[in-house]
Amino acid sequence: MDLRSQVQLDWLDYQQLMSLLRGYAKPRDRVSALLADGSLVRVKKGLYVFGERYRRGPIRREVLANLIYGPSYVSLDYALSSYSMIPERVENVTSVTVAEKRRFNTPLGTFTYQPLSNARYAPGIHWRGEGDIRFLMASREKALVDKVWTDKRFKPTELSDFEPYLTDDLRLDEECLQALDQEFIAVLADAFASKKLRLLVRYLGRTS
């Protein structure tokens, strides 16, 4: 497929696709044909990946998570699992955004987005991956803070509420918890202006 040779990455957006197909009299019909024979896969409206036989490597779903809905970064359960902080393998790619809460069911899996305010969004995120395959993801500390903050089921009133939540409910690894940067978690708690997170800081300080 000539299209494949002109695209460096394994994904492309609608504008890029239309530009590459500008020589066709009916480029939209050509897109429909490529989708029908599996040469292209539509992730969502305006975002495509090449079919498996044309891919140059495994698709990093973290990259797609950043592209599907943004601004956003990978966090919460998926990030905690990626850092081996929880034992479960998390299939749904969970992210945080400054936009509205959303869920996308795609041919490459489910992508969910939890909202945060601008002040709570920015601290503690960084680029991961290498070369052109890079994506925004929460640090270990930010992933935990995001999880505790967004989990509306958990409403602690005292420090003793945290142990069953962190170790039994979330099943967080104790060594991973002790290795976290508590000073940075305190900075995040201030940015969130959250009593809930300040209690988390105090709990982690007592157990370290």
More confident residue, 206 or 117: 117
Contact between 94 and 78 under an 8 Å Cβ cutoff? The reply is: yes
If asked whether residues 32 and 117 sit together in one domain, one would say: no
Q: Which residue, of 54, 70, 85, is where some domain finishes?
A: 54
- pLDDT of amino acid 124: 96
User: Mean pLDDT across the stretch 44-73?
Assistant: 96
User: Mean pLDDT across the stretch 123-151?
Assistant: 96
If asked whether residues 101 and 146 sit together in one domain, one would say: yes
Contact between 59 and 45 under an 8 Å Cβ cutoff? The reply is: no
Contact between 84 and 174 under an 8 Å Cβ cutoff? The reply is: no
- pLDDT of amino acid 34: 96
pLDDT at 1 over 80: no
CA angle at residue 131 from 125 to 132, to 5 degrees?
Answer: 85
If asked whether residues 142 and 45 sit together in one domain, one would say: no
pLDDT at 192 over 90: yes
Confidence of residue 191 (pLDDT cuts 50, 70, 90): very high
More confident residue, 206 or 77: 77
Reported as type and span, the H/E element at residue 129 is strand 125-130
Number of neighbouring beta carbons within 10 Å of residue 172: 19
Cis peptide before 156 (omega within 30 of 0): no
If asked whether residues 73 and 156 sit together in one domain, one would say: yes
If asked whether residues 21 and 73 sit together in one domain, one would say: no
- pLDDT of amino acid 208: 66
Q: Which residue, of 37, 54, 71, is where some domain finishes?
A: 54
Q: Which residues of 16-27 are buried (b: 16+ CB within 10 A; e: fewer)?
A: ebeebbeeeeee
Confidence of residue 207 (pLDDT cuts 50, 70, 90): confident
Domain, as residue range, for 13? 2-54
CA angle at residue 103 from 31 to 164, to 5 degrees?
Answer: 150
If asked whether residues 30 and 75 sit together in one domain, one would say: no
- pLDDT of amino acid 2: 83
If asked whether residues 159 and 188 sit together in one domain, one would say: yes
pLDDT tens digits for range 143-182: 999 999 999 999 999 999 999 999 999 999 989 999 999 9
If asked whether residues 49 and 133 sit together in one domain, one would say: no
Q: Which residue, of 32, 54, 76, is where some domain finishes?
A: 54
- pLDDT of amino acid 132: 86
If asked whether residues 49 and 65 sit together in one domain, one would say: no
User: Mean pLDDT across the stretch 19-40?
Assistant: 94
Domain count, the chain: 2
Phi and psi at 155, nearest 5°, equal -130, 80
Tell me what the pLDDT averaged over the chain comes to: 95
If asked whether residues 44 and 85 sit together in one domain, one would say: no
Sequence-ordered list of residues with C-beta below 8 angstroms from that of 21, at least 6 positions apart, any chain: 3, 27, 30, 31
Contact between 78 and 90 under an 8 Å Cβ cutoff? The reply is: yes
If asked whether residues 40 and 68 sit together in one domain, one would say: no
If asked whether residues 66 and 149 sit together in one domain, one would say: yes
